[in-house]
Amino acid sequence: MNIKILSLSLLLSVFLFSFSCSSNNVSVEKNMRVEKINPVNAQIQENQVWVLQKIDGEDAKNVFDNLPTLSFDVLKKRVSGNSGCNRYSGSYLLDEENHLDISQVITTRMFCDNKNNESGFVTNLDQANLVKIENNTLTFLKDDDALLEFKLQ
């Protein structure tokens, strides 16, 4: 009888031990999740110029005479460009899950008599909290709402 109990205990221990070694599956799932997110950090390159195509869902050509541009300085974590008439720059933070924080945006203050919505553009830069790149389109979002869409120049 002791042999049966000992054998059953050993078999149960081996069975439980085999299930306790499943932690590798979690890290594989985490890695797969990160790959599915497709981090924007890995896609942004120095000297790329992005040209605004849409602002709040509207064609940017209807809002601007001169389309705003955007470039990333990956090493300094800076963003800069032209906002339709004036130049702007600011700091940015971007994590692996594409959460975006643009801060300390400064602009030049030239008089602009052309059609533009610079204040709306800069406000959208400030409000964006997510970013994605698909098919050479860079999209700044606030939660699920697209604020700004750029095409690679």
Domain count, the chain: 2
**Pair 146, 90 in one domain:** yes
Burial state string for 96-113 with b = 16 or more CB within 10 A and e = fewer than 16: eebebebeebebeeeeee
User: What is the span of the domain harbouring residue 12?
Assistant: 2-37
Does the pLDDT value for residue 3 go beyond 50? yes
- Its pTM stands at 0.72
Closest CA to 117 of 57, 67, 79, 50: 67
Indicate which CATH number applies to the domain containing 110: 2.40.128.270
**Pair 105, 80 in one domain:** yes
**Pair 133, 116 in one domain:** yes
**Pair 96, 24 in one domain:** no
**Pair 9, 79 in one domain:** no
**Pair 22, 48 in one domain:** no
Q: Report which of residues 7 and 32 the model is more confident about.
A: 7
Residue 106: left (phi > 0), alpha (psi -120 to 50), or beta? Answer: beta
**Pair 83, 133 in one domain:** yes
**Pair 10, 72 in one domain:** no
**Pair 59, 130 in one domain:** yes
Question: Which pLDDT score is estimated for 9?
Answer: 55
**Pair 91, 52 in one domain:** yes
**Pair 82, 117 in one domain:** yes
Residue pLDDT, tens place only, 13-59:
544 444 444 444 433 344 443 334 467 877 888 889 999 999 999 99
